[in-house]
Every structure is written in structure tokens, then in C-alpha cells.
Amino acid sequence: MTQSIEQLSATRSHGGWVKRFSHRSQVLDCDMTFGIFLPPQAETGPVPVLWWLSGLTCNDENFMQKAGAQKMAARLGMAIVCPDTSPRGTDLPGEHDSYDFGSGAGFYLNARQEPWNKHYHMYDYVADELPALVREHFPISAREAISGHSMGGHGALVCALKQPGRYASVSAFSPVVNPMDCPWGEKAFSRYLGDDRAEWSDWDACELVLAGASKQAMLIDQGENDQFLEEQLKPDHLEKACHIQGVSLKLRRHEGYDHSYFFVASFIDDHLEYHARHLFADHA
């Protein structure tokens, strides 16, 4: 049975289309929006897709409007789908009180604690429900890759590590790699998941690597002038975990760059080309 979607906007871009849709999410029990870039090649057949997960305070529009990814994606023949970052319109107690928890801060996990466990199942949404919906309505092939920024970088890494072999490639910009050991993660995990830190490890990239969840290679770009680098992001923790487990990690550090979308836009073409090499590898 086809699930219904409603088109909110459509804008021509580099021969393709940037479109925005709303739909009712059964997993999140609320109405959601998502953005999609369809390259010109999608008019003649299925194309591979890059899932992009955005960070704290963002929604489905930030990447589409700020990253400047459409030109390269159009040249490569790659669709890009941008989910929202958290459930919307639920108005739970305290949901809108802070930027790093609740609205815009779903952390791409499945909440276990009340009242969050009724709606905050962002992992199931981005890993299962939304992909199924997108493939019902758009010419998207089975080939997929995943990437994200900050909290979304955390989500991308976790999605790939928890599903070995699913994504052709994974990358991230300024990801929260060890949320169990940073203020953002500790706040979110304690409220969404409860006090049992053993359950937190299922949603922590460093812990998943150390547990041998996957050997998939990772590409990460990190700005050296990122204001969150030392307290929240801690890429050296993932570097150490990957070294211990023999996982290939390409961690590129960039002098002078911060946490903003100016940083993402500066290197997004590199990431798109990286993913294209994996997405189209079987067709070379």
C-alpha cells in the first residue's frame, strides 16, 4: 500500500529538482518533512542516493540551502535526501526548552524513556521508514550512502556501524563520535535512554567500533577552529578506537575552519565524489 506524501515546494536546480515533502510518520507518530534533490539522470531511470543527516537546531532545509551540493550531485547522477532532525508538533513537556535536547535534537536514536519513547525513534525513521517511503515515490536505486554533520555525523556513523554492508560508504563532517563522553551526548542519552550507560553504547560510534560492529571505512573532515572540537566532538577518540580495531579511518583536519556550513560547503564536493566512487563501483 502506497503511503501518501504532499509536495510543499519544487525548485529547478542544475538540471534537476530540489523538492520538499510532508508525510505522516507512523514510527514517530507525527507529521514530518523531508527534502530531496533529484539529479537530471533520475528522469530516465533509478539513481543511487546519499542520505544526509543534519545537526542540532537544524531541519530538512539547512543542507539543501547552505551546502551547495546540487551542482556536483547533478554531475554525478546522485540523489540526496535530507530528513528532519527530530519529531515535530508533539509539544512534549520541556521539548522546546533547550537547543541540545528535544526539538531539533533527536540524536538519531530510539528513545526508551517516557515521554520521549512515544515519538523519538529517529533511528527507525531514517534507517527504515523514510527509505521505504522515498523508494515508493521516487526513482531511487538500491545503492545508498550516508553522511551528516555534527549530531548528524554521529547519526550517519551509527547507522553505518549498526548495519554492516548496507551503505556503500559513510562520511561525516565534525561528528559527535563519542556521545557517551561529551556534554551533548550525556544530556541527550540520559533523558532519551535512561541511566544505564550500557544501553548508551549501542548509539556511540566509538563504542560500536571497539565492539567490532563493523569494519567499514570512514571519511571524516574536522575543522581545527571548531568551537566544539575539544569538549563535544573529540575525533581523536574515534581515531584511537579505529586504530585498535584495524578500521580504516581517513580523518582530515583543516586549519582555520569552524563548525559552520561554510566548512561543509568547502569540502562537500570531496565527499560526494568519495561516495560516488563507492556507489558506482559495481558499474565501472
Main-chain phi, psi angles of 232, to 5 degrees: -110, -35
Determine how β-strand 79-83 pairs with β-strand 249-254: unpaired
The stretch 207-213 carries a mean pLDDT of: 97
Compute the distance between CA of residue 253 and CA of residue 84 in angstroms, rounded to an integer.
Answer: 28
94: alpha, beta or left? (left if phi > 0; alpha if psi -120 to 50): left
What does the pLDDT average to over 115-140? 98
Question: What pLDDT does residue 282 have?
Answer: 61
Q: Is the peptide bond preceding residue 115 cis, with omega within 30 degrees of 0?
A: yes
pLDDT band at 284 (very low <50, low <70, confident <90, very high): very low
In this prediction, residues 242-249 reach a mean pLDDT of 98
DSSP codes joined into one string, 140-206: EEEEEEEEEBTHHHHHHHHHHHHSTTTSS-BEEES----GGGSHHHHHHHHHHH-S-HHHHGGG-HH
Q: For 27-44, give one letter per residue: b (16+ CB within 10 A) or e.
A: bbebebbbbbbbbebbee
Q: Return the pLDDT at 281.
A: 86
CA distance 17 to 13: 5
For residue 3, what pLDDT is reported? 85
Catalytic residues: 150, 226, 259
| Statement: residue 106 has pLDDT above 70 | yes
Rounded mean pLDDT of 2-21? 96
**What gap in Å lies between CA 82 and CA 257, rounded to an integer?**
24
pTM for the full model?
A: 0.97
Q: What are phi and psi of 35, to 5 degrees?
A: -110, 150
pLDDT at 283 over 60: no
pLDDT value for 2: 73
26-68 pLDDT, tens digit per residue, is 999 999 999 999 999 999 999 999 999 999 999 999 999 999 9
How many whole angstroms separate alpha carbon 101 and alpha carbon 192?
A: 9
Mean pLDDT value of segment 209-224: 97
Mean pLDDT of 139-143: 97
Residue 105 is predicted with a pLDDT of 98
* CA atoms 178, 184, 190, 191: torsion sign: negative
Whole-angstrom distance, CA of residue 72 vs CA of residue 95: 37
For the chain, the distance separating the N- and C-terminal CA atoms, rounded to the nearest angstrom, is 35
Q: Which domains does the chain have, with CATH numbers?
A: 5-280 (3.40.50.1820)
